[in-house]
Amino acid sequence: MQLRRRHLLLPLALSFLAAALTVARAHNITRLLAKHPEFSTFNHYLTETHLAAEINSRTTITVMALDNAAMSRLLAPHPTIATLKNVLSLHVLLDYFGPKKLHQITNGTALAATLFQATGSAPGSTGFVNITDLKGGKVGFAPEDNNGRLDTYFVKGLEQIPYNISIIQISNALPSDVAAAPTPGPSEMNLTRLMSAHGCKVFADTLDANADAMKTYEDNVEGGLTTFCPLDDPFKQFLPKYKNLSAPGKASFLEFFAIPMYLSMAMLKSNNGPMNTLATDGASKYDFTVQNDGEEVTLKTRVNKVKITGTLLDEQPLAIYSIDKVLMPKELFKTAALTPAPAPAPEKAADSPKSSKAKSPPATADSPADSPESDPADQTADSNGSVRFKSARSGFLVLSLWFGVHFLL
Ligand SMILES: *[C@@H]1O[C@H](CO)[C@@H](O)[C@H](O)[C@H]1NC(C)=O
Ligand SMILES: *[C@@H]1O[C@H](CO)[C@@H](O)[C@H](O)[C@H]1NC(C)=O
Ligand SMILES: *[C@@H]1O[C@H](CO)[C@@H](O)[C@H](O)[C@H]1NC(C)=O
Ligand SMILES: *[C@@H]1O[C@H](CO)[C@@H](O)[C@H](O)[C@H]1NC(C)=O
Ligand SMILES: *[C@@H]1O[C@H](CO)[C@@H](O)[C@H](O)[C@H]1NC(C)=O
Ligand SMILES: *[C@@H]1O[C@H](CO)[C@@H](O)[C@H](O)[C@H]1NC(C)=O
Ligand SMILES: *[C@@H]1O[C@H](CO)[C@@H](O)[C@H](O)[C@H]1NC(C)=O
């Protein structure tokens, strides 16, 4: 009996151990830089801007670190955290350059793409860095539009994990007017205009037309907001269903597409699990599950599942992602197998005070294997999903521990 149970658990426990080992092996920029106290300010701001998570999620990269003195000069004009993020992301090259490779660049010069280029905030090629081998063994760096000046120099290598991550010191921050340009404060950001400009015009217009939902969004931008906007084609097709909802149903539906906290793509990938939305007003109401699917990130409810197709904007405290289909909350739509008519009674009054809503953080990271929706029996449940989920998860942990003990014995 016990032997059979062990066989059943073996694949489960092995995948758990494999996941633990993978996590242990990936690099951690915070830990690597902690060995070099003269880079503590740089390290602090990598965490503060959430760039650390972005760096940890990538391989084949080079971090050009600034020591505390260079950071003081950079911080002197008191840039906002969003501006600082742009500047620091220009210091992360999307290629591996150890000290040796820097001195062996073909033809003595190269252009390297940076994280600034990859976040969509850099216009044109302003997110590229020119690396040039200078006379006397010096290596110079400059933003691509450098007007012939290379005023930043390689100082020394700090940490090298071949092919994965290289951390080098450079003499001072790369001078970039574009990266250092002041970013608009959250209160100056016009959310719906940003969405419209990036392929989500129909959703943005719908949101603009709903004063109630619009206010909820605006009240939350300052404190951090992550929104998922359905692209124009799928949302246009969905409009008849939307128009069929009651007034409070419409507001809840629109509020369902935003999480009341800032989440970068790397944070979404490492925070799998149930997420509360702006429409949440009780345990597991109007929530959805974030889950990695290979390199992709999916959002799902008991009704359907959608895929994140792109980052439209990532400017802390606001992140806007596009999704390929309209995610449907279980509170308003039945599962595909049942009648498609929307449920008539939404759970809350249209004029309930939304700004007072609890901003609960997402559940702690879970392995993608243990999602509540993976159990078909769950499809019929309605409001006790998260309770069942929690007990399933602790059961899983107990089983893993049980296996660990037997494994050791
Ligand atoms: C990286 O290391 C820091 C400091 O040791 C730790 O606080 C943080 O949780 C680590 N991050 C990850 C993703 O393991
Ligand atoms: C190096 O220079 C030669 C001749 O100018 C050119 O043909 C080649 O494409 C260059 N290589 C790189 C990697 O830029
Ligand atoms: C880098 O900048 C230097 C100095 O302006 C220039 O001579 C070189 O061609 C640039 N390299 C590339 C790859 O654009
Ligand atoms: C480099 O990253 C890969 C994952 O992309 C990992 O499997 C490998 O162990 C890492 N190498 C080192 C030396 O950390
Ligand atoms: C945002 O922009 C849209 C369209 O450009 C406009 O209709 C709306 O009034 C603006 N909202 C605010 C708060 O300025
Ligand atoms: C709208 O609701 C009615 C009544 O519940 C239903 O018969 C109809 O199919 C719905 N239309 C759409 C597009 O969902
Ligand atoms: C949810 O769980 C509670 C406590 O376990 C139970 O009393 C209640 O009937 C359940 N509701 C549903 C809809 O299953």
Report whether the peptide linkage leading into residue 317 is cis, meaning its omega lies within 30 degrees of zero. Answer: yes
Closest of 265, 263, 267, 293 to residue 277, by C-alpha: 263
191 CA to middle of ligand 5, Å? Answer: 8
pTM for this model (two decimals)? 0.65
Does the C-beta of 233 come closer than 6 Å to ligand 7?
A: no
204 CA to middle of ligand 5, Å? Answer: 10
The mean predicted confidence, pLDDT, of the chain is 79
Does the C-beta of 108 come closer than 6 Å to ligand 2?
A: no
Ligand in closest contact with the CA of 146: 3
110 CA to middle of ligand 2, Å? Answer: 10
Does the C-beta of 339 come closer than 6 Å to ligand 2?
A: no
Query: Under a CB-based contact definition with an 8 Å cutoff, are residues 195 and 257 in contact?
Result: no
Does the C-beta of 171 come closer than 6 Å to ligand 1?
A: no
Q: Whose CA is nearest to atom 13 of ligand 5?
A: 190
Residues within 6 Å of ligand 5 by CB: 190, 192-193, 208
Query: Under a CB-based contact definition with an 8 Å cutoff, are residues 95 and 62 in contact?
Result: yes
Candidate from 244, 326, 328, 334 with most ligand 6 atoms within 8 A of CB, to mutate: 244
Does the C-beta of 38 come closer than 6 Å to ligand 7?
A: no
Measured from the CA of 190, which atom of ligand 5 is nearest? 1
pLDDT at position 337, please? 52
Candidate from 194, 196, 203, 208 with most ligand 5 atoms within 8 A of CB, to mutate: 208
d(CA 354, CA 68): 42
Query: pLDDT by residue (tens digit) across 366-389?
Result: 333 333 333 333 333 333 232 233
Mention every residue, 6+ apart, whose C-beta is less than 8 A from residue 50. Answer: 85, 262, 264, 266, 267, 316
What is the CATH architecture of 186-323?
Roll (2.30)
Crossing angle for the helix pair 81-89 and 68-75, to the nearest 10 degrees: 130
Query: Under a CB-based contact definition with an 8 Å cutoff, are residues 258 and 329 in contact?
Result: no
Does the C-beta of 73 come closer than 6 Å to ligand 1?
A: no
Query: pLDDT by residue (tens digit) across 58-103?
Result: 999 999 999 999 999 999 988 888 889 999 999 999 999 999 999 8
pLDDT at position 24, please? 46
Tell me if domain 22-170 and domain 186-323 are identical in fold: yes
Q: Whose CA is nearest to atom 6 of ligand 7?
A: 384
pLDDT classification of 14: cutoffs 50, 70, 90: very low
Delimit the domains of the chain by residue range. Answer: 22-170, 186-323
Measured from the CA of 109, which atom of ligand 2 is nearest? 14
388 CA to middle of ligand 7, Å? Answer: 10
CATH superfamily of 22-170: FAS1 domain (2.30.180.10)
Work out the average pLDDT over 157-186: 89
Query: pLDDT by residue (tens digit) across 209-267?
Result: 999 999 999 999 888 999 999 999 999 999 999 999 999 999 999 999 999 999 988 88
pLDDT at position 16, please? 47
